[in-house]
Chains A and B, each alone.
Chain A
Amino acid sequence: DFVMTQSPESLAVSLGERATINCKSRQSVFFNNKNYLAWYQKKPGQPPKLLIYWASTRESGVPDRFSGSGSGTDFTLTISSLQAEDVAVYYCQQYYSTSWTFGQGTKVEIK
């Protein structure tokens, strides 16, 4: 069962500072030299937006202040310099199994 657990549930970061979100999978999502792990940004009233896939590949058009790292069961999304428009809830998702699962979300706010 691919349960995804994110931490923290919320965090407040000053503008220009770093935000770090963790995601842990109960089972490894590493297969065929790839990590089947994505990160999405969700703002109220908008659909989810894909930020990162294969754990560390930035989607086209996503600012380079967003980066992903990790492998196997432990992953991190980093926003290197938080901007006002980054206020949102962030979700990790595994797409390795035939039952996709999301983490519970991490709310990022401005301190």
Chain B
Amino acid sequence: QVQLVESGGGLVKPSGSLRLSCAASGFIFSEYYMSWTRQAPGKGLEWVAFISSSGSTVYYAGSVEGRFTISRDNAKNSVYLEMNSLRADDTAVYYCARVSTAWSQQSPSNYWGQGTLVTVSS
């Protein structure tokens, strides 16, 4: 069965950095676009970034562009989110997700991890 397991969350000071990981299993990882979505405390869902199957194409939400980098290692069945210049408003639960259709960015996300909490505070 499809499993997505995030790790790497924690407490970080403002302007600090953190790297999130998402380990995938149960499907052919290299065929699927992957994404990160976050939910700040008491707020709604906010899409953060997605990456193509090969890793050659990435897109970011305006709120994180230039500070966050999404990447993947298809040999390790993992997707990452490198977060730099963190701010208090980056505090959120971060979810990785897989799209439902292989090779397609224009596809909803039907598998999600349980999320990892990132807290940015001094």
Contact = CB atoms under 8 A, between A and B. Distances in A.
A93 B61 CA distance: 14
A40 B100 contact: no
Contacts of B61: 99
B53 to A, nearest CB: 15
Interface string A80-111: 00000000010101011011111111000000
Interface residues of B, number: 24
A89 B45 CA distance: 10
A50 B109 contact: yes
Nearest to B105: A98
Interface of B: 35, 37, 39, 44-47, 50, 59, 61-62, 95, 97, 100, 105-110, 112-115
Interface of A: 36, 38, 40, 42, 46-50, 53, 59, 89, 91, 93, 95-96, 98-105
